Amino acid sequence: MTASTYVPPVLAWISGLAIAMPGAAAERPTLKDAFRDDFRVGTALATPQILGEEPESLALAAREFNAITPENCLKWALVHPEPDKYDFEAPDQYVAWGEANGMFIVGHTLVWHNQTPAWAFAGVDGKPLDRETALARLKSHIDTVVGRYRGRIKGWDVVNEAIDDEGKLRTGPVGSWPRRGEPWHAAIGDDYIEQAFRMAHAADPDAELYYNDFNEWYPAKIEAISKLITDLKVKGVHIDGLGLQGHWGVDYPTLEEIDHMLTEYGKLGVKLKITELDVSVFPTLDQPTGADITRRERGRAARNPYRDGLPDDKQQELAQRYADIFKLFVKHRDKIDRVTFWGIHDGQSWRNGWPVGRRVDYPLLFDRQRQPKPAFDAVIGVAR
């Protein structure tokens, strides 16, 4: 970006309230242009947006971003709800829109314990799911979904969230407590990740393939994810990238933790992607980190302090936090090739419902009216 040409919105301070008076959107720098020499900047599209129910959001996405990920519509439960039934309506529109708008198109996600229908994990004749049946089911799903978009979806989150916070491979049935299970691992064994990557590569040899996870700065996860990727590479398995989701908050992880993990993962010889970035305005004391949806906090819906708006000091805190985070992304730009936000605007974000249900959060760069927030200006201000 030519920073000198950008005049940020005028902030009029009236009675302690900052009122943003944005200039015409056309005069505003865009995220994709600001970081064009550093990394792609992407967003996740919700299914109603893909289906055309929010044309203003799609227009904003086309203007600001150069990569897209489907928030839900390519997950197993949505695209393959029954053994012999696929639903490609939303994915077809997603890919067509991405092509029409010059986007780098990502597929999310092929193998995950969550948002996968019960039938996929059911064994034959009431028995537990066996290895051969599980492998055949995975292959059929991957062949069909990846094959349909061969050459068009450029990168796939092949396996999602396979490692728990202690650095162990998840296993066991879905819903086991205190840790969520991983029925694919339980049925197939330790090589299920390798098998999934081999299947995806066979279905589209030109597609980039990624492993994707959350709480990626935990020391135990740095160790386990690094080992996983190193082992895959040693075995000759095709893997191009590591997806770091980035469901973070105003006070976690620390900047040192982010810097450290980018340095460590940067040694693996795969490209790093920040795949699901959002920054909750609620501090750690209020919520677990990460994105484990079994850890929903109950009975705390009353703790919704910003239901009528975000105070200026919190708005500025979020802006500074985003600036600090993007400074680290730019610092590690030789290893990071995409930064994707998990949604276009605050109103769409899953963080309004996790870990406290029905709470108003403000985790993205555009507000509920799709206007740029101070955090947007702060991020643009980081561009070199």
Looking at beta carbons only, is 245 or 340 nearer to ligand G3I? 245
Site membership for ligand G3I, residue 242 (CB under 6 A): no
Measured between alpha carbons, how far is residue 277 from residues 92, 364, 366 in Å? 25, 8, 13
- 3 vs 293, beta carbon nearer ligand G3I: 293
Residue 276 a catalytic site member: yes
- At which residue do the structure tokens 């985070």 appear? 325
291 near ligand G3I (CB under 6 A): yes
Give 315 or 348: the residue with its C-beta nearer to ligand G3I.
348
Residues of this chain, 122-161, that bind ligand G3I according to CB under 6 A: 160
Residues paired with 14 in a beta bridge:
17
56 counts as catalytic: no
CA distance 358 to 298: 11
Residue 115 in contact with ligand G3I, rule: CB under 6 A? yes
Q: Is position 72 an interface residue for ligand G3I (rule: CB under 6 A)?
A: yes
Q: Which of 64, 182, 216, 276 is catalytic?
A: 276
* Residue 39 main-chain phi, psi, to 5 deg: -165, 160
**48 binding ligand G3I? (CB under 6 A):** no
Neighbours of 227 (CB within 10 A): 13
* Binder among 66, 171, 215, 245 for ligand G3I (CB under 6 A): 245
In the complex, minimum distance from the CB of residue 27 to ligand G3I, in angstroms, rounded to a whole number: 32
Query: Cα dihedral angle (87, 203, 193, 185), rounded to 10 degrees?
Result: 50
CA distances 120 to 77, 137, 174, 336, Å, are 9, 7, 12, 34
Q: Does 114 bind ligand G3I (CB under 6 A)?
A: yes
What tokens does 265 get?
A: 């993962």
In which element (H, E) is residue 58 found? Answer: helix 55-64
- Choose between 114 and 176: whose C-beta lies nearer to ligand G3I: 114
Query: Least distance from C-beta 245 to ligand G3I, angstroms?
Result: 5
> What are the backbone dihedrals phi and psi of residue 40, each rounded to the nearest 5 degrees, phi first?
-70, 150
Q: Which residues are designated catalytic?
A: 161, 276
Q: Residues in the site for ligand G3I, rule: CB under 6 A? A: 71-72, 114-115, 160, 245, 276, 291, 293, 350
